[in-house]
Every structure is written in structure tokens, then in C-alpha cells.
Structure 1
Amino acid sequence: MLKWVIAHPAATCLLCGTSNPDHMSDTLMAMRGPLPDKPMRRRMLRHMETIPGFSTIASLPWVPGKDALYHGRIRSAQAAARTATLR
């Protein structure tokens, strides 16, 4: 699915991060072989839509268990930036 994201026309940069060596190996493998074309991306999406729970994934926390902390840090940084701009 990483190739699906990379191949999207709107994607200009993709940042991946992990501390799990197995995940890093999977990420590196996305650089091998061709990227999916538009028809293949459509088939990939149709497949994902058959997976139970896929339609609700967008409502899940970005980082499970840390969502409130993440959004709190973003709000604090935005408030600090607005304060600095007003000075």
C-alpha cells in the first residue's frame, strides 16, 4: 500500500518512520519494481474496501493512545506561532 501512496499524483514527498527493523525492511522493498498505474490503484482501493473496518479507519486516532497528546502539542505550537507573529 506504500506504493499506492507514492504513486498518487498529489504526492510529492513521503516520509516514513519506524523503530521496527521489519517495518523498515518492508518500507525499503517499496522502492523495488514499478509503481501502480491508475487502474491498478483503483483495484487496490477496491480490495481495501472489502476489508472489515476499512471504512472507519479515518475516524481512528492518528497515533492510537497518543492522539490527544499529539493534537495538544500541535495546538500549543500554533498558538505560540500566532503570538510570535502578533509581536
Structure 2
Amino acid sequence: VDFSGMVDDEFLERLGLEKGTRKLVNHEERGRVLQAMDGCSYKAAAGGSLSNSLVALARLGAKAIAGPSLNVGMAGGVGSDPLGGFY
């Protein structure tokens, strides 16, 4: 699950994050960032690089062959926590 939010430069400096970048974080780091964002507006989105790449591949493949979408698939595990339910 991807989290995106609007914060000021001072917020990024406090957390040691670089503006305009994405960062994969572990569970502990995610908790620290979300706690710091308490009261800030942010969005959660299901996705991730693999699923987004597969969607793009299916769409581009269909245009390249002027036919139906390519069949693509993804196998993985999703937890039973709230974020797993969201995804």
C-alpha cells in the first residue's frame, strides 16, 4: 500500500526524507512517519511497482498488437491486517 501526503520541507528534514522521492520503509519506519503525519492529509493507494507495471504491460501490449489486453498475473501474499484488507 502506497501512502502519499502533502508536507512542508521542515517536516521532511525532521524525518530525514528527501523531497520528491519515494522510499520503501519497514514496519517500524512506516509507523514513525504515519505518527508524525497525525493531523496531516494523506492518501493510501493499493498498487506498488509490480502491480502497476503489470497493468501498464497489459495496456501497452494490447495497443502494440491491436487486440485485446494481454493476460498478466501476479501471485503474492496479503496480510489479514487492515492494510491487507485495503489492498
* TM-score for the superposition, normalised by structure 1: 0.31
Rg larger for = 1
Report the structure, 1 or 2, having the larger helix content. 1
- Structure with the larger RCO, 1 or 2 (CA within 8 Å, 6+ apart): 2
* TM-score for the superposition, normalised by structure 2: 0.31
Report the structure, 1 or 2, having the larger strand content. 2
